[in-house]
Amino acid sequence: MARDLAIDLGTANTLVYMKGKGIVLNEPSVIALNRQTGEVLATGREAWQMIGRTPGYIVAVRPLRGGAITDFEITERMIRLLLQRVGVSRFTRPKVVICVPSAITEVERRAVTDAARRAGAADAQLIEQPMAAAIGADLPIDEPVGNMVIDIGGGTSETAVISLGGIVALEAVRVGSFDIDASIQAFVRREHGIAIGERTAEEVKVAIGSAAVTDDESQAEVRGRDLMSGLPKTVVLTPEEIRFAIDDVVSSIIASVVRCLAKAPPELAQDFLVRGMYLVGGGGLLRGLAQRIEKETQVPVRMSNMPLEAVVMGAGHCIEHYDALKGMFMGARR
Amino acid sequence: MIPAIIGVVALVAIFFAVRIIKAGPRGEPGVVSFRKHIDALSPEARREVMDRVRPPDRDNPDEPRR
């Protein structure tokens, strides 16, 4: 008998929750393929380590961008391999709940459910990421009070106001922590004349990236390829430079939070001043982001206890209480 | 021939009887289904999942992050 699954199909990482067991898989959403034969060579962490370091015949790709499927066939193969790894076979077809960005189109929604069904799921239902995040962050969404959650993922940032088990206001932008990495790459190329890879840009963000001035600031040495000479070169980056480089992306995320606050009914808006907003998702770990959102919105911002796992935990709760919560799935309300 | 027809009719009747019994009363009243939905979102209902998921080890610097 197959155990039902909840999947957080993120642009950056894919997490799988198995009913009755907990999180059984947490891997980067990356797949490495042989360009000539089309064979899958690696998935997850192993494929992630290959990004930017592959010979010509291998390509390591992220099949999701902005939370949407950019390559249907590769995504389907990735989901199939993920399901196989957690024990799904042609004889054990589980029910699957998949978390997706709330702003995805009908076509993208169909693409995700079709990919899951073809990959071995008996039934595939979708749930909006901010709703799953609010459940997983343990917010009291069963009460008639305003709960605000900001989910900053790899490709999307979503802010939602939730009360009495439903979404009251929602704002989403297709901007996330990968855009922060891309801004760092572009800045280093433009200002220092060196090319750095996706992974190096991410390392710089983790090491010295911040959205506001913090107490423990330090510089970082970055190695890349000089654009003029083509030789390896080292430059030193400061936190001020990185703040400047990523400011457009950070401002765009904060602007969407402000728009969501403006959409909230007044009765719920007053709750935020007391209860605060909750930050989830890997992008929320950027230093100084909570303080900057708090400064610009005048609303307290709190970090979820498990920001990376909140979404899949919320979807996992939906799979544990499938019948009672099936009204929350995207198809059920449209 | 007649016993076969009676048998088929009996099987069809049993099939429909079972379906009617299983279906129960038509639809659940809104109050009941809403209460179930809200109860399933209560902190007590969520405790099981929260307890099951332990914070993972994040000390490995080579771990990919979002």
Parent domain of B45 = 17-51
Over 90: is that where the pLDDT of A52 sits? no
Question: Do the domains spanning A5-131+310-333 and A177-245 agree at the CATH topology level?
Answer: no
pLDDT of residue A2: 66
Over 50: is that where the pLDDT of A61 sits? yes
Chain B CB within 8 Å of residue A313 CB: yes
- What confidence tier does B66 reach under pLDDT thresholds 50, 70, 90? very low
pLDDT of residue A334: 46
Q: DSSP assignment, residue B42?
A: S
Sign of CA dihedral A279, A283, A287, A288: negative
B40 belongs to a structural domain: yes
| Percentage, residues of chain A above pLDDT 90 | 66
d(CA A278, CA A305): 10
Over 60: is that where the pLDDT of A1 sits? no
Chain A residues within 8 A of B27 when measuring between CB atoms = none
Q: How far is CA A13 from each of CA A48, A65, B26, rounded to the nearest angstrom?
A: 10, 12, 43
Round the average pLDDT of chain A to a whole number and report it: 91
Q: Give the distance from residue B40's alpha carbon to the nearest chain A alpha carbon, in angstroms.
A: 6
Angle value at C-alpha A290, between A288 and A294, nearest 5 degrees = 115
d(CA A109, CA A173): 17
Over 80: is that where the pLDDT of B16 sits? yes
Determine the longest span between alpha carbons in chain A, in angstroms.
63
The chain A residue lying nearest B53, using CA atoms, is A22
- Nearest CB partner across the interface for B66, out of A135, A142, A154: A154
pLDDT of residue A191: 96
Question: Which residue would you say has higher pLDDT here, B40 or A334?
Answer: B40
**10 Å Cβ neighbour count for A111?**
18
Paired strand residues for A224 = A233
- What confidence tier does A316 reach under pLDDT thresholds 50, 70, 90? very high
- What confidence tier does A127 reach under pLDDT thresholds 50, 70, 90? very high
Question: Which ipTM value was assigned to this complex?
Answer: 0.77
Contact call for A142 and B38, based on CB within 8 A? yes
d(CA A183, CA A100): 25
Helix/strand/coil for A330: helix
B24 belongs to a structural domain: yes
B62 belongs to a structural domain: no
Residue of A49, A285, A321 to mutate, interface with B, max B Cβ within 10 Å: A321
Over 60: is that where the pLDDT of A150 sits? yes
d(CA A312, CA A16): 7
Taking chain A, what is the end-to-end CA distance rounded to the nearest angstrom? 31
B27 belongs to a structural domain: yes
d(CA A46, CA A60): 10
Superfamily, domain A140-175+250-303? ATPase, nucleotide binding domain (3.30.420.40)
Domain segments of chain A as ranges? 5-131+310-333, 140-175+250-303, 177-245
**10 Å Cβ neighbour count for B27?**
9
- Nearest CB partner across the interface for A316, out of B37, B49, B54: B49
pLDDT of residue A187: 97
The average pLDDT across B5-25 equals 79
pLDDT of residue B4: 85
CATH topology of domain A177-245: Actin; Chain A, domain 4 (3.90.640)
Side chain identity at residue A34, one-letter code? N
Chain A residues within 8 A of B57 when measuring between CB atoms = none
Contact A150, A173 (CB under 8 A): no
Chain B CB within 8 Å of residue A285 CB: yes
What pTM did the predictor assign? 0.84
Chain B residues within 8 A of A325 when measuring between CB atoms = 37, 40-41
B11 belongs to a structural domain: no
Joined tokens for residue B1: 């021939």
Q: How many cross-chain Cβ pairs, A to B, lie less than 8 Å apart? A: 78
Over 70: is that where the pLDDT of A242 sits? yes
CATH topology of domain A5-131+310-333: Nucleotidyltransferase; domain 5 (3.30.420)
Over 70: is that where the pLDDT of B65 sits? no
d(CA A203, CA A191): 18
Q: What is the DSSP string of A216-275?
A: S---EEEEEEETTT-SEEEEEE-HHHHHHHHHHHHHHHHHHHHHHHHHS-HHHHHHHHHH
Cα pseudo-dihedral B34, B37, B41, B43, rounded to 10: 70
Joined tokens for residue A29: 């959403």
Over 70: is that where the pLDDT of A208 sits? yes
B57 belongs to a structural domain: no
Based on the structure, what is the number of domains in chain B?
A: 1
Among the ranges given (A67-76, A175-184, A206-215, A223-232), the one the predictor scored with the smallest mean pLDDT: A67-76
Contact call for A306 and B55, based on CB within 8 A? yes
B12 belongs to a structural domain: no
